[in-house]
Amino acid sequence: MRKYEVMYIIRPELEQEAVQAVVDKFQGIIQNGGEITKHEVMGKRRLAYEINKIRDGIYVLVNFTATPEVVAELERILKISDEVIRYLITKDVA
């Protein structure tokens, strides 16, 4: 299993319960064959540039170990989720 890091930005207009539901959904995908080592909801922050007229977003950072199949499934779900504005998955080399 390899180490990965994913950061995704959730739409700012979602309620706290909806944000927690989105976070739980992605944690469940990762834990279905992987292990989360660090999870941090960084909160609402201003984006560097507007994305579809959205200026703010709720940032979430997750470090985890998993197989490439888990990462592929996570990326597939992130792509089709309406709650997620942007995401980035990287291999953690440290």
Q: What residues are paired with 82 via a beta bridge? A: none
Domain spans of the chain?
2-91
Q: Which CATH number fits domain 2-91: 3.30.420.250, 3.30.470.20, 3.30.70.60, 3.60.15.10?
A: 3.30.70.60
Residues 17-70 pLDDT 10s: 999 999 999 999 998 888 999 999 988 999 999 988 999 999 999 999 999 899
Type of residue found at 77: I
Q: Measure the CA–CA gap between 35 and 33, rounded to whole angstroms.
A: 7
Closest CA to 4 of 93, 94, 92, 69: 92
| Per-residue pLDDT at 1 exceeds 90 | no
pTM for this predicted structure = 0.88
The count of other CB atoms within 10 Å of the CB of residue 25 is: 12
